[in-house]
Amino acid sequence: MMTKVNYNKNTQEDIQMALTYAMYMMLTSYFEHAECKTPLYEKKLYLRYMGQKVKDQYQLEDYCLQYLQNTLLARYPKKFWNRKVVVGITPNADGKGDTILIADPHMELKMTVEYQPRVKAEDKAETKTAAKKKGSKNGKQAKKDTIRIGYTIWRGNAPKRKHKGKAA
């Protein structure tokens, strides 16, 4: 059975998967060596990424690069990145976003990536009070799409430890 990739109209899922692939690609490039343990899902993400227009691919990469430089690269020294790591990419159980898990025997980095498109008013006659109840500021609809990225790093013997908590 052949699957047709629609290059002109990207769904929320397409953009989410393309964003996850861009973050995975940018993040793993900083490590000495990264081996993906989920090659089928990686390939699926790659195809969705390649389905984006080139301009959109650059935008995703720029956003990911800016995030990485302002958060992880600024906090952790160069020797932190000189590792051979194993990477796993999985969709989140709630259906919103993906998780990138990077590990070696002494460290585990868990990053969640979630894309949310702006909410469009279903009814043009929607009042400001109804929009405020939906969580928008000043009763107006969100003008931009939202990207949420959170990460958690554990140091020590990562595979042996049991972790509690959520990604920020």
Q: Tally the domains of the chain.
A: 1
Tell whether 25 is covered by a domain.
yes
> pLDDT at residue 4 above 90?
no
**pLDDT for position 77:** 87
Tell whether 166 is covered by a domain.
no
Tell whether 6 is covered by a domain.
no
Tell whether 125 is covered by a domain.
yes
Tell whether 95 is covered by a domain.
yes
What's the chain's average pLDDT? Answer: 80
The model carries a pTM of 0.74
Tell whether 4 is covered by a domain.
no
Q: Give the DSSP letter string of the chain.
A: ------SSS--HHHHHHHHHHHHHHHHHTTSSEEEES-HHHHHHHHHHHHTS-HHHHHHHHHHHHHHHHHTHHHHS-HHHH--EEEEEEEE-TTSSSEEEEEEETTEEEEEEEEEEPPPPPSSTT--HHHHHHTT-GGG---SS-EEEEEEEEEESSTTTS---S---
Tell whether 161 is covered by a domain.
no
Tell whether 130 is covered by a domain.
yes
Least confident of 17-26, 102-111, 142-151: 142-151
Domain hosting residue 25, numbered range: 12-155
